[in-house]
Chains A and B, each alone.
Chain A
Amino acid sequence: MNRVNAVIVGAGAAGGIVAKQLAAAGLSVVLLERGPWYTPADCRKDDLRNQRTTVLGNAFGPEDLGFPRVVVDAGGVARIVRPSDSAYQNNAACVGGGTLSYGAQAWRYMPQDFRMKSVYGAPAGSSLEDWPIGYGDLEPFYDQAEYEIGVSGDYAPDPFHGPRKRRLPMPPLPANREWEILEPAARRLGLHPFAIPMLRNSVPYNDRGPCMRCRWCVGFACEVDAKNGSQNTVIPQALATGNCELRMRCTATEILMDERGHARGVEYINEDGRREQQLSDVVVVSACAIESARLLLNSKSRLFPNGLGNRYDQVGRHLQGHYYTGALGYFDHDTYDDVGPGASIALCDYNHGTPGLCGGGMLANEFIRLPIHMIDRLPPGTPRWGQGHKQAMREWHRRTIVVMGPTQQIPTAEARVTLDPAVRDKWGAPVARIQGNSHPHTFEIGAVQAKRAQAWLQEAGAIHTALMNSRPQMISAGQHQAGTCRMGNDPRASVVTPNCQLHDVENVFVIDGSVHVSNGGFNPALTIMAIAYYASAALVRGWKGTRYRS
């Protein structure tokens, strides 16, 4: 096969952007994606088989057969899990990756989120660290993501965000019922509520129409294509340049190395199950934190016997995601208006600045819940089955509000991805083995956040509340997975440079959530996109000099 300038592994939030930026700069690009390209017609609105409720399987991959992982619980017991098991820590496997079916919250991290160690100090036993780049370095690229991918919202009422050069390109969606209940309550508490920024059209944008406000949003593909991901923005643009070829149902298995320590391309399994090689000048790994680490670890060669970029045993460490806490409020009146996407109001008053806590997190109301989600969210003391349960479903389904948020994760080096010594996928490659948990301080932050959510609901008139604060026995990575190929200046304590280039191999880049040093108290998608624009710009600058050949 013809040699190309760049092979990109993974057509998700980051890989799609990198493909577009490199192709637009004139590089020839092959974009490998293990899954297919779904369309709005694949929405299906199936509450038992989507990307959030997966009791009958993942709607957008991976399929259950052939792609296991191994997870190790707090007691050290390992078990094999299938992709639709929540312990798998899945993200979608398709063109667009998680951005096809996400809730599409579009958060910028705050300036303090990039300087966690300087601001708070690292709790003993944690691996909390500063990023080698700051909010100011990413600001232009946050802006680029907001305008190119498309974000609606209004930051004006929020005094806590970092400096921005301009407003978001689209106004927020009109208020829903929960906003009307929660907004005045937050004001009475002296807080600063505002509309959640969303990667969602509120007005026609990028030649597509606005959100039709149905309740089947998070976990589903958008039926009217108003939810903005890489699959309906940058990937079509990359293909339109004529410089990018998208190869779907192609799974990368190894980064190929030459004898001088340069990458020479990628080996992958094509859609017919045949092993192929694509030679290239540079390789970009954008497979999401767990699979990116796995691909590096599976790329063993004479010069890199422990995997690529893993000279100092750093690949796969500091795995993080988000642990959510909050509260349920039960009201004596209807709170449910059936107007999607549901999540509408947030506050950032609690992200930073609480004495004794290393950060905090954003709090927001939940996306619209379907009946199946209500089964175990009835008031404490409700019978779990029988007439009492059925009666309670009728009584409360339309009269609850959930407020919750992603807690700032305090990472540990022991929460990590390695290769399982025994279990292999259907192509014969060792699978990811996931173990460890966030630092205990994370759960202290989460407990405080849950009480804050409860207080907000009480002020809003909830007649009963219940805390949502169960402590997970293992890392909660999932769709927010990050941290396995940490960005840093010290090759002994990180995997990639501040430009997302492997310390060890100058023509291999890791560009996705893997490089996050810490993961903010926010949904990470917009930051992953900003990193992709930022790292692509650096890659193109370097390309014009040396083509990454020494």
Chain B
Amino acid sequence: MAGTAATGAVCITGCSWRNSSRWEFLSNAQAETLAALADQIIPEDDFPSASQAGVVVYIDRQLMGPYRRHRGAYQGGIESADQISRKFCGVALAQARPTMRQEVVSALAERFREFFEMVREHTMEGYYGSPRHGGNRDAVSWRMLGLKEPPLRGRAHYDLSKGRGS
């Protein structure tokens, strides 16, 4: 517990408070761009989009942990996405019209392939991976795929006294 509290304190003084961001690593503007990008990778339909399911929370949180090594790539890549968007339609990606966003992201995928592939992978992790890491809110993707939630199958349908499956 002490460790958790200490980490929180560092964050309050070290990033959240100073740049008034509600994110752990990203600025509000960066998070908006990333959300717009992730929502092109997994758009909303009958089920939530990537950002609606918490993918930006997932990525932001990992950038404080195992994905620390990708911080520079995210900062540079998000900047590139907004630059392309400004060139195409004069505004940052999050402010672009929905039809423009797809064109911007397609251009990004072509010109900044490595960054786009990384965001694609991390978006999929956040959307289809365990909710414990901040994405896949309420296990929405697992329910979308028709999987039982919670996924602990076995205990419920297994009669240990017989020693064989039902």
Contact = CB atoms under 8 A, between A and B. Distances in A.
B153 interface: yes
A537 B160 CA distance: 37
Interface stretch (B24-32, B76-84, B125-133): B125-133
Interface in B122-140: 124-125, 128-130, 132-133
Contacts of B42: 385, 389-390
B124 A204 contact: no
Interface string B125-165: 10011101100000001101111100111110110100111
B155 A46 contact: no
A521 B158 CA distance: 33
Interface range on chain B: under 10, 10 to 19, 20 to 34, or 35 or more?
35 or more
Interface in A490-522: none
Contacts of A48: 125, 129-130, 133
A502 to B, nearest CB: 40
B160 A390 contact: no
Contacts of A211: 154
A374 B43 CA distance: 18
A57 B125 CA distance: 13
Interface residues of A, number: 41
B163 A213 contact: no
A51 to B, nearest CB: 15
Contact of B147 (A45, A57, A338, A385): A338
A212 B155 contact: yes
B164 A375 contact: no
Question: Majority SS of interface residues in chain A?
Answer: loop
Contact of A394 (B65, B145, B148, B153): B145
B41 interface: yes
Given A55-B125, A64-B66, A212-B158, A398 B130 contact: no
A339 interface: yes
B151 A397 contact: no
Given A371-B145, A397-B146, A56 B165 contact: no
B71 interface: no
A443 B164 CA distance: 40
B16 to A, nearest CB: 22
Contacts of A386: 40-41, 43, 102
A53 to B, nearest CB: 9
A346 B114 CA distance: 39
A211 B157 CA distance: 12
A397 B145 contact: yes
A64 B66 CA distance: 9
A204 B144 CA distance: 36
Interface in A27-68: 45-48, 55-57, 64
Contacts of B155: 212, 214, 224
B160 A371 contact: no
B65 A174 contact: no
B120 A385 contact: yes
B62 interface: yes
A372 B158 contact: no
B110 interface: no
Given A215-B151, A371-B142, A210 B160 contact: yes
A210 B158 CA distance: 10
Contacts of B153: 213-215, 338-340
A390 B55 CA distance: 15
A44 to B, nearest CB: 9
Contacts of A387: 43, 45
Given A386-B40, A386-B43, A371 B154 contact: no
B146 A209 contact: no
Contacts of B141: 371, 393
A369 to B, nearest CB: 11
A203 interface: yes
A387 B46 CA distance: 11
Given A47-B129, A47-B130, A384 B164 contact: no
A371 B148 CA distance: 12
Interface string A368-390: 00011011000000001111011
A398 B147 CA distance: 9
B129 A372 contact: yes
Interface string A60-98: 000010000000000000000000100000000000000
A173 interface: yes
Q: Which 9 residue pairs spanning A and B have beta carbons closest together?
A: A212-B154, A214-B154, A371-B128, A203-B163, A385-B41, A174-B165, A397-B145, A213-B154, A48-B129
12 contacts: A45-B130, A45-B152, A55-B125, A202-B164, A203-B164, A371-B129, A375-B124, A390-B42, A391-B45, A394-B144, A397-B146, A397-B147
Given A212-B155, A387-B43, 9 more contacts: A45-B130, A55-B66, A204-B163, A210-B160, A372-B129, A375-B128, A386-B102, A394-B144, A394-B146
